[in-house]
A and B are shown apart, each in its own frame.
Chain A
């Protein structure tokens, strides 16, 4: 079983839709949870960061972490064509360990 599971999609939605992206994980020691956005031919960039459980909101983006279910989500409200990208979840433990990434979900928002 992979440490982090993420449906690679692709996911295609109309402009203005609410998008839900999800990851599950198996390592209960993960404490830090991130979402990265990667545009075509670019490197990933950090979009949202959450420590432990709970919700975090930033504009149209909301990140949720449910540690009891080992499940994290990213919601995008009022999606825009500029949101078209690959979204990667990433997570890490406390201490001296690098991030573990999911496969990424490719999202297309159609105008």
Chain B
């Protein structure tokens, strides 16, 4: 069982609101990731981090920001939510880079009205 937690699991919010999706892992993994997943579409990498104070943008510009102040914590913030941000957001972590095993959280389903 993976020890990676996301909150909230479900969020319905109005346009223009600021939201933060939380992600925490207790495995001591250096590498953490945020993916966006829509039905029938690929997982799109939004942001990733290879360690504390290190963050990179992925291939999808989602107008979001991340921070990595602590190893175990990797929150994703949307400053001004829009209906186009409606999606499933998945957080993941890994100990090794290319040997494959990402541990995913259960996801945060965001709906922006």
Contacts and interface: CB of A to CB of B under 8 A. Distances in A.
Contacts of B12: none
Interface residues of A, number: 29
Contacts of A94: 98
A49 B106 contact: no
Contacts of A18: none
A34 B98 CA distance: 10
Given A8-B40, A102-B42, A97 B98 contact: yes
A44 B104 contact: yes
A43 B58 contact: no
B101 A46 contact: yes
A51 B102 CA distance: 16
Given A43-B107, A98-B48, A103-B42, A90 B98 contact: no
A80 to B, nearest CB: 21
A49 B99 contact: yes
Judged by DSSP, the binding face of B is: loop
A46 B102 contact: yes
Contacts of B106: 41-43
A92 B92 contact: no
Contact of A43 (B45, B98, B105): B105
A15 interface: no
B105 A49 contact: no
Given A98-B48, A103-B41, A43 B100 contact: no
A87 to B, nearest CB: 13
25 contacts: A32-B99, A34-B101, A41-B106, A41-B107, A42-B106, A43-B92, A43-B104, A43-B105, A43-B106, A44-B90, A44-B104, A46-B102, A49-B99, A49-B101, A51-B99, A93-B98, A94-B98, A96-B50, A96-B97, A97-B97, A99-B45, A99-B100, A99-B102, A101-B35, A102-B42
Interface of B: 2, 33, 35, 40-43, 45, 48, 50, 58, 90, 92, 97-102, 104-107
